[in-house]
A and B are shown apart, each in its own frame.
Chain A
Amino acid sequence: MPLLSVFNDLLFGLGVALTPFNMTVAVVGLILGTAIGVLPGLGGTNGVALLLPLTFTLQPTSAIILLASVYWGAIFGGAITSILFNIPGEPWSVATTFDGHPLAKQGKPGIALTAAFTSSFIGALVSIILFTFFAPPLAELALRFGPPENFAVLLLAFATFTGLGGGNPVKTVLMTLLGLLLSTVGFDIVTGQPRMNFGLISLQSGVNFVVIAIGLFGLGEIFLTVEEGLRLEGIRARLSFRDLVETWRQFPRYAATIVRSTILGFWIGVLPGTGATPASFMSYGLARQFSPHPERFGKGEVEGVVAPETAAHSAGIGALLPMVTLGIPGSPTAAVMLAGFFIWGLNPGPLLFQTQREFVWGLIGSMYIANVIGVLIVLTLVPAFAAINRIPFGILAPLIVIMSSIGAYAANNQILDLWIMLGSGVAGYLFKKLGYPLAPLVVALVLGDMTEQALRQTLIMGRGSPAIFLGRPIALGFFLAAALLFALPALRPLWRRARPPAEAKEAMEAGSLR
């Protein structure tokens, strides 16, 4: 891949993103996304899902810029609630609460917020550069993929949840299988037979993952909030110029952490099916492990904010890479965006770079622009966004319910989906309390059709024998990697016995919170 052509493409992309209309779209998306990220119970996945139907009137390039900007905004916004209210508005900002909230309580909310936004920005920017240069070669590699390779990659995605997610691996596998099963509801793609619908006609169109995601994440979160009796009482946030300068002067000290978190975040983001949440946890755990003062973590260590925020934003970018190049979403939010691709009439995958140059490079260009605008917006609007959380919960909760209902209904235009959403909400609450991870279910539901098709085609190619995988080195490599990840929870105790530092164990456990 000649470097010059990448620069040419990038300049072209920046040109697309810098048109007045697309700039406006990006700013609107960023503000909406930040607001969504600040609201507990309304995550980036919900935000993107809610806005998806509204993008049908836009050009695909503007539509993806809008959704991507909402996504960046939500990652920024998640940090605000975590730090000021100790309420992670997003699953990936849970790790930010560990040190961010103590800092805020010590009267340094400005320092915590500046550290969070600045490290998000750096993580994102470096990842975008990685994205720019790695996306085309990865896309070219992907062109050589057949059904066996696709199936092996998908298996690897599911294996990452089990191997790197922490928690009870049996529960993770069960949730993945359940998600795949939900995807089989409706019609069989090959034979056209109606199946798994329990005789209900309304289920023949299948189970929409938007409905499930809103229920599981959005409503489930409300139930948890209510149960814990949380009152949304925040700390007044004022961002002074002195806080900015003081925090930035400290930043060179965290260079190693930032570099490590960025690379880790990008890599975990690129791995299909993982996303920002495990990245932020792992990065926090590693930062503590490498720190000369691990005992300061959890009590208001700035580095404890820098590490997860850098990784989360970096993973957010990385997650878009397999989506654009392979058609495999790296996170639930990317999965929702992927659904958008199909609706806009685009086929995600390696050919996208050739057939939809404006779309792909417009998206990449907009990532540079949106992150620069984003960090400026959040740094100036911190007090305003914090005010959202002063809306009493008695008003906020029904507002979230109504927004969720609209999102769920708009997905398919049927009332049954509202009941499915409600049921998923209760299920999400129970699952979360019992430590069943939700993300694998949603990702599996999205990837289900693709997985089944790849598996069936592979079996047809091999005339019913799975031995076909042995003759295909790329597929076999992915397979072995997947097997290793599936085995990791069983291997980890052995490794830990050989080398038992307390921090490693705690980091592992922190990683299981997801």
Chain B
Amino acid sequence: MRRAEILMALALSLGAGALLRQALRLPIGWTAVGPGAGFFPFWLAVGVAVCAVILLGQGLRAPLTEEGGAPFIPSGAWKPLLAVFLPMAAVVALVDYLGIYLGGALYLAGYTWLVGRHRWHTILPVSVLVPLVLFLIFEKWFLLPLPKGVVLEYFLYGR
């Protein structure tokens, strides 16, 4: 836990540095139109950097108690966490090609089968009906186009 605090403070310091560099590419002082475009982000990034350094100091100074020495992510939690995260990342990566409806159907089917360990009589209706209902709601009723992906585009519009 203590190590995670320190790592987070370090990461935030590095992030502040990168943001500071971005801000410094712009005028940060007084210009013809008042404070320059970089003025606000510059001082904010300075503030973030200061806070991150203080937090780093707090993390380093914290006594190493039993609780503080405990692992940040409990060892048993890695598997379920990855089981949630990886399919999520995969479906985001695939949305461009499969769209939200087909990608969502695959994701629902895969997740309920592999992680939820459901039988096909649960998997099938869920993974077919939910995308279908969403499709009707968003595309038909509210006329809100969501990414449909090349496959669905081809079947719907022949392109």
Interface string of A225-248 (1 = CB under 8 A from B): 011110000000000000000000
Alpha-carbon gap, A223 to B72, bound state (A): 14
- Shortest C-beta distance, B77 to chain A (Å), equals 4
Interface string of B7-40 (1 = CB under 8 A from A): 0100010000011001101100011011111111
Docked-complex contact B8 and A398, CB < 8 angstroms: no
Which of A183-191, A281-289, A330-338, A373-381 interfaces with chain B? A183-191
B150 interfacial contact with A, CB 8 Å: no
Residues in chain A near residue B92, CB distance under 8 A: 405, 415, 418-419, 421-422
Which of A100-108, A113-121, A192-200, A251-259 interfaces with chain B? A192-200
Docked-complex contact A54 and B30, CB < 8 angstroms: no
Q: State which size class the interface on A falls in.
A: 35 or more
- Shortest C-beta distance, B30 to chain A (Å), equals 6
Alpha-carbon gap, A464 to B33, bound state (A): 11
Interface string of A461-482 (1 = CB under 8 A from B): 0001000000000000000000
Alpha-carbon gap, A229 to B33, bound state (A): 55
Residues in chain B near residue A195, CB distance under 8 A: 22-23, 25-26, 37-38, 41
Docked-complex contact B80 and A226, CB < 8 angstroms: yes
Docked-complex contact B77 and A456, CB < 8 angstroms: no
Docked-complex contact A54 and B73, CB < 8 angstroms: no
Q: State which size class the interface on B falls in.
A: 35 or more
A294 interfacial contact with B, CB 8 Å: no
Docked-complex contact A401 and B88, CB < 8 angstroms: yes
Docked-complex contact B40 and A184, CB < 8 angstroms: yes
B37's nearest neighbour on chain A, judged by CB, is A188
B110's nearest neighbour on chain A, judged by CB, is A398
Docked-complex contact B26 and A401, CB < 8 angstroms: no
Docked-complex contact B74 and A227, CB < 8 angstroms: yes
Residues in chain B near residue A456, CB distance under 8 A: 34-35, 39-40
B126 interfacial contact with A, CB 8 Å: yes
Alpha-carbon gap, A398 to B87, bound state (A): 9
Residues in chain A near residue B26, CB distance under 8 A: 188, 193, 195
Residues in chain A near residue B77, CB distance under 8 A: 226-229
Residues in chain B near residue A6, CB distance under 8 A: none
Determine which residue in A57, A181, A393 has the highest number of CB atoms from chain B within 10 A of its CB, and name it. A181
A143 interfacial contact with B, CB 8 Å: no
Docked-complex contact B48 and A174, CB < 8 angstroms: yes
A343 interfacial contact with B, CB 8 Å: no
Docked-complex contact A402 and B104, CB < 8 angstroms: yes
B68 interfacial contact with A, CB 8 Å: no
Alpha-carbon gap, A359 to B138, bound state (A): 26
Docked-complex contact B112 and A394, CB < 8 angstroms: yes
Docked-complex contact A433 and B4, CB < 8 angstroms: yes
Residues in chain A near residue B126, CB distance under 8 A: 395
Show the binding face of A for B, using Cβ within 8 Å.
53-54, 57, 168, 170-171, 173-174, 177-178, 180-181, 184, 188, 190-191, 193, 195-198, 219, 222-223, 226-229, 392-395, 397-399, 401-402, 405-406, 409-410, 415, 418-419, 421-422, 425-426, 430, 433-434, 436, 452, 455-457, 459-460, 464
- 16 chain-A/chain-B pairs, Cβ below 8 angstroms: A54-B142, A170-B58, A171-B55, A180-B44, A198-B18, A228-B77, A399-B108, A402-B108, A402-B130, A402-B134, A415-B96, A430-B4, A433-B4, A433-B72, A434-B4, A460-B35
Show the binding face of B for A, using Cβ within 8 Å.
4-5, 8, 12, 18-19, 22-23, 25-26, 30-31, 33-41, 44-45, 47-48, 51-52, 54-55, 58, 72-74, 76-77, 80-81, 83-85, 87-89, 91-92, 95-96, 100, 104, 107-108, 111-112, 115-118, 122, 126, 130-131, 134, 138, 142-144, 146-147
